[in-house]
Amino acid sequence: MPPPRPRAWPTVLLAVGLLLTGCANPSVGSADDDPKAPVTLKFWHGWSEPSEVKAIDKSIERFEKLHRNIDVVATGNVNDATVNQALRAGGDKAPDVVSSFTTNNVGQYCDSGMWADLDPFLKKSGLDKKKLFPNTLLEYTQYQGTQCALPLLADAFGLYYNKDAFAKAGITRPPRTMSEFRKAAAKLTQREGRHVKRAGYMPNFRLYQNSPDRMFAQWGPRYFDAHGKAQLAKEPRTRQFFRTMRQLTDAQGGYGALERLRQSFGDEMSKQSGFMTGKLAMHLDGEWRGLMLKEAKPDFDWGVAPLPVPDKQADTYGRGFLTGTVAGIAHSSKHQNAAWELLRFLTTDTDQVVSFANAIHNVPSTNAALNSPDLDADPAFRTFLRIAKNPHSQALPPSTTGGQYVTALQDFAYSVESGKEGDLDAGLRALDRQIDADTVQAEN
């Protein structure tokens, strides 16, 4: 997917606000339509880059050749807030099929009823969702038993590393455990006096894709208990995570020195970014970065590997954080059966999923597509395919508050890394109370 998705917190928060105010009773559509009758469907999506729009348009062309009676009118560059406003209003101008670049709001889509329950459509079509989709992707498209979305390509996160810097430092392979990670980061760090000129790895949570939940996934944490209560304070892996991040920071000169270096970086998407300019020897990022690096042609050799894992979980090496685009049917659509034909094609047709994944360099989202011989054979891309297939890989659990609990974790992580959070245990307990209070407010 395009890199802007992971950075789109203002859009996510706006979407949360819209969902929490007056959307409990969405407009009612109909699943009584004849999918073979002539119809025009409105499909809203978030892709905006020319190559991406071209790829989704070609997907629609393939669908229309198979379904001559269905005309699809696609509208791109649409964010969650706009979709939610349209679905709340209903009417003829609202979309029939919708997609979102974030999994964070799935809990709200399902809980509010704005996205239709897809289990009846899957059953009617004889599709076994547990065989179709990897379990992790299936989990982030449902909430409390309601399957209101399906995966539409995925993103996996791994470790990009500068092979030239590794060779000069005498490091023969990417680190696999957190202790190896810390040692490699320290060895790769270059200093001039008190200033860091190159970081082996920058753990600062404000850096590009470094939202804390992405590295935290390497521990395999549980955010909520069986009753939906936040349990970050009770989860021992939370403390292990923050302790490891602190150790990584201290091994390379401390938070202040790394933060000064971070502020010297150019935009994430530019040739002046930290990794492109050689100021970062290792960097957390998604599968799309490989294609961008190929096109940019940096003056060093680079490689990709899974992110390291905690030493006591060495057998889970190969795991990573997963997220992706999700798609569903608007509950207000009066053409839900026809809409299902489009959604089914986009999300379950193996040839379509493989073609789309190759076109925009994203991870395919079905088991069959992940194992297709027609996938891009690029070694870097294949690394992310293995991460996506790893049974220990983790996505964020859906919540009725959308991305609020992730934002709360981010804010807390900023305070911890900068030293403003003096008592980690007390801070985690307060964080849990905040998340639980937000959940109660959302449910009421």
Is the pLDDT confidence value at 189 over 50? yes
Provide CB contacts within 8 A for 63, sequence distance 6+: 70, 72, 341, 342, 345, 346, 352
Residue 27, pLDDT score: 63
Average pLDDT over residues 67-91: 91
CB of 248 closer than 8 Å to CB of 280: no
Most confident of 82-86, 125-129, 225-229, 358-362: 125-129
Angle between helices 336-348 and 350-360 (to 10 degrees): 60
What residues does CATH 3.40.190.10 cover in the chain?
5-155+322-389, 156-316
Amino acid 242 reads F
Cβ contact 306:159 at 8 Å: yes
* Residue 95 pLDDT > 80: yes
What percent of the chain is predicted at pLDDT more than 70? 94
pLDDT given at position 268: 94
Give CA separation, 117 vs 39, 150, 221, 324, 334, in Å.
22, 11, 28, 19, 14
In eight-state DSSP terms, residue 155 is: E
CB 31 within 8 A of CB 425: no
pLDDT (0 to 100) of residue 9: 35
Which pLDDT value is given to residue 25?
52
Q: For residue 123, is pLDDT > 80?
A: yes
Of 33-47, 76-90, 281-295, 335-349, minimum mean pLDDT range:
76-90
Give me the amino acid identity at 212. P
* CA distances to 58, 59, 64, 112, 228 from 118, in Å: 25, 21, 22, 14, 23
pLDDT at position 21 is 40
pLDDT of 5: 41
Q: What is the DSSP letter of 397?
A: P
Considering only residues 398 and 189, tell me which one the structure prediction assigns the higher pLDDT.
Answer: 189
pLDDT value, residue 10: 35
Q: Rounded CA gap, 115 and 176, in Å?
A: 41
**pLDDT higher than threshold 80 for residue 14:** no
What does the DSSP assignment read for 236-305? Answer: HHHHHHHHHHHHHHHTTT-HHHHHHHHTT---TTSTTSTTTTTSEEEEEEETHHHHHHHHH--SS-EEEE
How does residue 12 score in pLDDT terms, banded at 50, 70 and 90?
very low
- Calpha distance 51→59 (Å, rounded): 12
Angle 53-55-56 from CA coordinates, rounded to 5°:
65
Tokens, residue 374: 């027609």
Position 1 confidence tier, pLDDT thresholds 50, 70, 90? low
Residues 171, 176, 180, 184, CA torsion sign: positive
pLDDT band at 23 (very low <50, low <70, confident <90, very high): very low
Pairing of strands 97-100, 195-201: unpaired
Burial category of 332 from C-beta neighbours within 10 Å (exposed 0-12, middle 13-18, buried 19 and up): buried
Q: Stretch 105-115: mean pLDDT, rounded? A: 91
Residues 323, 1: Cα–Cα separation, whole Å? 10
Range from 99-108, 233-242, 277-286, 325-334 carrying the lowest mean pLDDT: 99-108
* Average pLDDT over all residues of the chain: 92
Q: Say yes or no to pLDDT of 4 above 50.
A: no
> What residues are paired with 323 via a beta bridge?
155
pLDDT at 403 over 90: no
Q: What is the DSSP string of 173-215?
A: S---BHHHHHHHHHHH-EEETTEEEEEEE---TTSTT--HHHH
Which residues on adjacent β-strands are paired with residue 190? 198
CA separation for the pair 249, 349 (Å, rounded): 45
pLDDT band of residue 443 (cuts 50, 70, 90) is confident
Q: Where are the alpha helices (DSSP H) in 20-118?
A: 50-66, 80-89, 106-112
Q: What are phi and psi of 382, to 5 degrees?
A: -65, -30
Bridge-partner residues for 247, per DSSP? none
d(CA 19, CA 17): 5
405 and 332 Cβ atoms separated by less than 8 Å: no
pLDDT tens figures, 381-390:
999 999 999 9
Query: 156-316, which class in CATH?
Result: alpha beta
In angstroms and rounded to an integer, the radius of gyration of the C-alpha atoms of the chain is: 22
- Band of residue 337 on the pLDDT scale cut at 50, 70, 90: very high
pLDDT at 203: 96
- CATH 3.40.190.10 for domain 5-155+322-389, yes or no, is yes
Mean pLDDT for the stretch of residues 18-38: 67
More confident of the two residues 380 and 11: 380
Cβ atoms 244, 310 nearer than 8 A? yes
Segment 138-160 shows an average pLDDT of 96
